[in-house]
Structure 1
């Protein structure tokens, strides 16, 4: 077994560990019985993940005396809905879950967000454990306790902050992940470097396209998780510095909302948003143009979009994108809030965006 890195998320009596590396699930087995006093593990997953991973994971849990009771949801963002939430909560209640038990979320970000939200409201709160099966979920949504579902008003507009008890980022689970999904997850690793870790970006840049392979990827995943853990420990509920983790997301969520369903991945939208956030920072004279160019070049090198025209969907309307950005949860006093950058590794919260200037910039990028 490869060395397993333990990344602590320091939140007082709600602190937990993130176990990172190939074989992390095997390394976690000795910890798990304490979370399941009834000798069973209620496990929420989607139909696609179940086909790949439910059997092997259940076998591992069985080796320590835990019987798996699965709750299956449909794959894709449509599961993150009021109907999807009701389905999971009703399943937990049908199984007569007790507040002393944990629920396992086995899957990507959709399963983790949905399961965490359901756990947070069932019997006024039961614990859960994250076993993310996508690179995106490993480096982003599984760490930090943000749960939620999508509503008619937007993505993740209903949810809670509910921290997991343990996160198991087993990179062996990524073996079945298509290349496109791996790249989408890599966008969140780049994001961490661009926010506040310039040496990490230097290392990613030096690895080039090879950063997606073997030990280079393992190191990058661990570094990104450690960075996010520090931010979450400092600002759990996104009242300050944690908002920086939305770098690229204001643009990215607008792309996701305006694109046809399944046309682009979340990580692809974020990657395009990262490129635009740096390009807009340079446009405003806040960031050297050379830094914006480095960001775009690295995204292109690894095979990710770097702007609106490099996404799989390219038919955009600037006014509609700006309208989506007006609905962003970070906004205050009716003004669009953006996460921008002074340089690579130095992001900041900008609440002084001039919407007319932003509109002209977006139009120029389409």
Structure 2
């Protein structure tokens, strides 16, 4: 592992923005230098706001701070919820020099970022992620958007934050299922790009799930380093950034099938990564022991390794066919050439793909 570093940068040519990973930063760090004008709108949800809203407000001394509190859950990442943000911006007379602040998990970050990208054709925003999944993945990279009933994240924009402030102390308020869901994205980084990190995760997974501060901070830092490097190389997913979608094509199908309510994003991605691993083995890239390593690590992280009961190959095929990453009507997948070495392809053996679906699912009666 490399030396610890609490402040990272996402390098985007002439643009850059910092990622701050620091205990106690929420409420104690003055974020005024990253505020465009005098107006701030904090967007949070009914779960996070009672815990951290007042601390977040303290980060903006001298600004006029308004707030909007949204319902909690992936199923609320919709046009209707987005309009609630616009309603407050209009009612409180916010201008194009306002700054939006996302205080919460991945859903809040996505919807706030999309509101910032589209309010008066684009304003600044700040990410204050309070879940593990958001701190290691969703808050970094500028992907914003909302869901459509027929597909996950179908509507959105690339819009980078001015700064990301990740306070690991906020993770203490998470239920175990949310911690596990975030760990799926941490494991993803080891699988796609860094086998040494994967081995480190195998060594420290029990410590991570026990919320030990130093291993947890190290996992956040290492994940953000990987994400920042990939985004710097490919901001708008024209190439290498697509590797970040390991397990996501299968996972998004699960989320859409369950109506964005029964499964957390990280849970769906975990099952999707297991399916991608199985397909990689069937295609001859991985061996049986590789698949066992992935399965055991996911189970130790208390993540599902199978899709929901009742989801059939027919469901997967139909939902994966409309995934936004597809090319010319062909399903595009991230697979593993080896553990720590991922690649993107739409050229895979359809029989192996069907075998994977049949292995994990039951056909419709």
Matching of residue 71 in structure 1 with residue 68 in structure 2 = yes
How many residue pairs were aligned? 356
Find out whether 1:230 has 2:229 as its counterpart. Answer: yes
Match of 2:35 in 1: 35
Q: In 2, distance between residues paired with 1:140 and 1:14?
A: 20
Is 2:112 the counterpart of 1:115? yes
Q: Which residue of 2 aligns with 1:96?
A: 93
Equivalent residue runs for 1:162-311 within 5 Å? 162-212=159-209, 213=211, 214-259=213-258, 261-308=260-307
Is the Cα contact below 8 Å between 2:145 and 2:154 reproduced in 1? yes
Per-residue deviation at 1:12? 2.5
Q: State the alpha-carbon separation in 1 of the partners of residues 227 and 177 from structure 2.
A: 23
CA contact (8 A) 2:34 2:162 kept: no
2:151 aligned partner:
154
**Deviations for 1:74-117, whole angstroms, at most 9, x for unmatched residues?**
21123311111222123212222222331111111111111111
Matched, 1:50 2:56: no
Gaps of 5+ in 1: none
Choose the corresponding residue for 2:331, options 314, 329, 336: 336
Q: TM-score, normalised by structure 2?
A: 0.93
Please give the secondary structure, in 2, of the residue aligned with 1:65. coil
What are structure 2's unaligned runs of at least 5 residues? none
Structure 1 residue 301: deviation in Å? 1.7
State whether residues 19 and 169 of structure 1, in contact with CA within 8 Å, keep that contact through their aligned partners in structure 2: yes
Query: 8 Å contact 1:14–1:163 — kept in the other structure?
Result: no
SS at 1:223 equivalent: helix
Shift of 1:36: 4.9
Aligned to 1:128: 125
The 1:109/1:34 distance shift into structure 2, 3 A limit, reads closer
Q: Aligned partners of 1:57 and 1:102: how far apart in 2?
A: 13
CA distance in 2, matches of 1:34, 1:16: 10
Matching residue of 1:8? 9
Distance 1:189 1:152, change over 3 A: same
CA distance in structure 1 between the partners assigned to 2:19 and 2:253 by the alignment: 31
What SS is found at the alignment partner of 1:159? strand
1:20 paired residue number: 21
The root-mean-square deviation of aligned C-alpha atoms, in Å, is 1.7
CA-CA distance at 1:210 after TM superposition = 1.6
CA distance in 1 between partners of 2:325 and 2:269 (Å): 16
Does the 8 Å CA contact 2:335/2:342 hold for their aligned counterparts? Answer: yes
User: In 1, distance between residues paired with 2:259 and 2:227?
Assistant: 30
> In 2, Cα distance between the equivalents of 1:104 and 1:95?
15
Supply the distance in 1 between the matched residues of 2:91 and 2:312 (Cα, whole angstroms).
Answer: 46
Q: Distance between the aligned counterparts of 1:173 and 1:278, measured in 2?
A: 32
SS at match of 1:128: strand
Q: Deviations over 1:132-170 (max 9, x none)?
A: 111111111110000001113311101000000000011
Aligned twin of 2:353? 358
SS in 2 for 1:331: coil
**C-alpha contact (below 8 Å) 2:27/2:59 kept by paired residues:** no
Tell me how far apart the structure 2 counterparts of residues 61 and 24 of structure 1 sit (CA, whole Å).
9
Normalized against structure 1, the TM-score is what?
Answer: 0.92
